[in-house]
Structure 1
Amino acid sequence: MSAQTLTRPTASSKPAPRGKRSRRSARTGGFASKLTVNALLVLGCAYMVLPVLWLFFASTKNASDLYATGAYSFGQPAFFENVAAVINQDGGVFLRWMANSMFYAAFGAVFGGLISVMAGYAFDKFQFRGKDSFFGIVLVGVLIPNTATVLPMYMLASVFGITNTVWAILIPVLCNPFGVYLARVYSAAYVPAETLEAARVDGAGPVRSFFSLGLPMMMPGYVTIALFQFVGVWNNFMLPLVMLQDQKLLPVSVGISIWQGYSLPQPEFTPMVITGSLLSVIPLLVAFILLQRFWKSGLTAGSVK
């Protein structure tokens, strides 16, 4: 009869408790998710910040230093010379372009944003025939790129004889389907129906209820829509390129593109194009910095109810 040797399992061979395994896997998964999110944020920040940094460094260089030095290195101190050349070119036409862009963008932000807020408020609070169908048309307008509507708008403007005028730019910027969609979301999040019902009982009509109650409550959303509209109009290129021929009416985006065409046979225009592009970014940065409090609160609308 042979003796059998029994071996006791060692402590290291025991399976870990299920609770410890779950906690360990949770810690590992949490670290991996945080690493992934932070990496994506770093890539996104680099994608947005590096071009602006390149503009800043390149604006300090003359035409020869642009190709003889590194991308993110200072050249000869020529920043103020480049700014002076931009301002003095063609009798100060760059300042006129900046003023035109400011006027177009501010008009679209204030009045276009207000129209979007009024339309979104009406879609949310009022009941009328064909409401869902009309809002579906608005959503279709969100899906259509702006470049696809430039030629039809030019044909309409030529019929009414407003091409090469400021109205060819101001009238189209009043329509913003995406702003109407956002305004409806903000109206549902910020304006309680009970408040409007109380105002109606007190004798306030629809117009007075909107301007006295609805618009103040939707102010963060209005500022957010106005900021998006301001940036969209400021960066608009195809519409003024097609509509306008007079250089005194051009926005800065189209004007800088004209200078870029000059830079091919005349390399001295290249530092002016870069410096002008840097100067054209400053109003957008100022607008976002001054209105970021409203902008941040507006973007959180509807996230917590």
Structure 2
Amino acid sequence: MTTLTHGTSAARQPTARHRTPTRTGRRTPTSALLSKTVVNGLLVLAACYTLMPVSWLLIAATKNHRDLFATSGFALGDMNLLTNLRHLFTFDDGIYLRWFANSILYSVVGSAACSLLCVATGYAFDKYDFKGKEKLFGLVLGGVLVPSTVIQLPMYLLATKAGVVNTYWALLLPALVNPFGVYLARVFSEGYVPNEVLEAAHVDGAGELRTFARIGLPMLAPGFMTIFLFSFTAGWNNFFGALVMLNDDHLYPVNLGLFMWNSVTQQQPEYYALVITGSLVAVLPLIAAFVCLQRFWRSGLTAGAVK
């Protein structure tokens, strides 16, 4: 019995040695190339779908009023872009330039003040311990859940009591409040500002305000620019707030002014060219902001994701 057992084992061993190796989960070069092609194709389709309205806007801005309705949507016109721009900037004593300047004021000044306030608040929530800190921070986070359109009527009533309706302050003051910006600022403060650096500054005799201005704020520059970009986009696209708060057309932002022009196109079709060309010009500041500040935005988003 023993001999048979050993013989059987010896007979099985070569079979085990010559067993064919199993395939691993590695992809072949052909499958990897196919997957990259599919992914890149989907990205190209998504980019084309995203850029289609902007491309149509750019092409339509080259047409006059007749070609706008007589030609295909993506067919080039008679290259009247410069003529349309000249007509846009001179129409009604240059009211569009006034609207554009108002949008710059509401967006840039309001976003800069909002970003600074959010960074300071988030820094305080991160670095200081005080009674009820987490409950207060939870209350701030609760503000993220409230849609801005819901609070427009209470804000209008408050602005009426304060006497700032139909003034620049009617849009600048609400722009200072950004609960989501406070949350982002706290996340950035936890990831960018080490406590050891602040303690070293305190040992050297720096006060709290000087420590924040000289050490905390420069370290939070990516977070500041990220919050600024979000606030700038929200301020530039703030249509409903301006519609509720403003009555004087000289205080309108550019989006509300274009809406007013678009509302009379049925009676006066010549306004179509003004609306289209004005919409194209109104997109340019957002594109410029993201192109110029994208490096801060990318680093800020990466830091928040790692944290």
Scaled by the length of structure 1, what TM-score is found?
Answer: 0.89
Q: 1:23-71 CA distances to partner (integer Å, 9 max, x unpaired)?
A: 248985x667645643553344223311111110000012221222222
Of 37, 42, 45, the match for 2:44:
42
Q: Does 2:71 match 1:69?
A: yes
Alignment partner, residue 287 of structure 1 = 289
- Other structure's SS at 2:151 match: helix
Q: 1:22 aligns with which of 9, 20, 25?
A: 25
Alpha-carbon distance in 1 for matches of 2:82, 2:186 = 47
Tell me, in whole angstroms, the C-alpha distance in 1 between the residues paired with 2:61 and 2:171.
30
Structure-2 change in CA distance of 1:17 and 1:27 (3 Å)? farther
- Residues 88-116 of structure 1 show CA distances to partners (whole Å, capped at 9, x for unaligned) of 11111000000000011011121111001
Identical aligned residues as a percent? 51
> Gaps spanning 5+ residues in structure 1: where?
1-14
Which of 277, 296, 299 pairs up with 1:297? 299
CA deviations over 1:259-305 (Å, ceiling 9, x no partner): 00111111111111000000011112222222222222222114447
In structure 2, relative to structure 1, the CA distance for the partners of 1:102 and 1:23 (3 Å cut) is same
Q: Which amino acid aligns with 2:182?
A: V
Q: Paired residue for 1:82?
A: 84
2:301 is the alignment partner of 1:267 = no
Matches within 5 A, 1:137-216: 137-216=139-218
1:161/1:304 CA distance change after superposition, 3 Å: closer
Task: Give the TM-score normalised by the residue count of structure 2.
Answer: 0.88
Q: For 2:103, give the aligned amino acid.
A: S
The AA in structure 2 aligned to 1:194 is E
SS of residue in 2 equivalent to 1:208:
helix
Query: Equivalent residue for 1:133?
Result: 135
Secondary structure in structure 1 of the residue aligned to 2:263: helix
Relative to structure 1, is the Cα distance of residues 88 and 295 closer, same or farther in structure 2, using a 3 angstrom cutoff? same
The number of residue pairs the alignment matches comes to 290
Equivalent in 103, 120, 123 of residue 122 of structure 2:
120
How many Å separate the matches in 2 of 1:246 and 1:300? Answer: 43
Aligned to 1:109: 111
Cα gap change, 1:143 to 1:31, in 2 (>3 Å) = farther
Distance change in 2, residues 1:42/1:205 (3 Å): same
- Amino acid across the alignment from 2:83: E
Q: Give the letter aligned to residue 191 of structure 2.
A: A
Deviations 1:197-217 (A, max 9, x none): 111222222211111100000
Tell me the residue number matched to 2:96.
94
Distance 1:118 1:25, change over 3 A: same
Instruction: Tell me the distance in 2 between the aligned counterparts of 1:175 and 1:114.
Output: 11
Larger Rg: 2
* Separation in 2, partners of 1:138, 1:53: 40
Deviations 1:153-204 (A, max 9, x none): 0011011111001111110001111111111111111101111111122222
CA–CA separation in structure 2 for the residues paired with 1:25 and 1:258: 59
